[in-house]
Chains A and B, each alone.
Chain A
Amino acid sequence: SQQGEEDPQALSIQEGENATMNCSYKTSINNLQWYRQNSGRGLVHLILIRSNEREKHSGRLRVTLDTSKKSSSLLITASRAADTASYFCATERQGGSEKLVFGKGTKLTVNP
Chain B
Amino acid sequence: DAGVIQSPRHEVTEMGQEVTLRCKPISGHNSLFWYRQTMMRGLELLIYFNNNVPIDDSGMPEDRFSAKMPNASFSTLKIQPSEPRDSAVYFCASSLDIPGQGLEQYFGPGTRLTVT
Interface residue ranges, A against B (CB under 8 Å):
2, 30-31, 33, 41-45, 48, 50, 88, 92, 97-105
Contacts and interface: CB of A to CB of B under 8 A. Distances in A.
B45 A101 contact: yes
Contact of B109 (A42, A48, A88): A42
B45 A45 contact: no
Q: DSSP majority for the B interface?
A: strand
Contacts of B106: 45
Interface of B: 4, 31, 33, 42-43, 45, 48, 50, 55-56, 91, 93, 95, 97, 102-110
A12 to B, nearest CB: 19
Of listed A31, A44, A100, A102, residue having the most chain B CB within 10 A: A100
A42 B107 contact: yes
A103 B42 contact: yes
Given A97-B55, A99-B33, A99-B48, A104 B42 contact: yes
Of listed B56, B107, B109, residue having the most chain A CB within 10 A: B107
Contact of A98 (B50, B91, B107): B50
Contacts of A100: 45, 103, 105
B56 A99 contact: yes
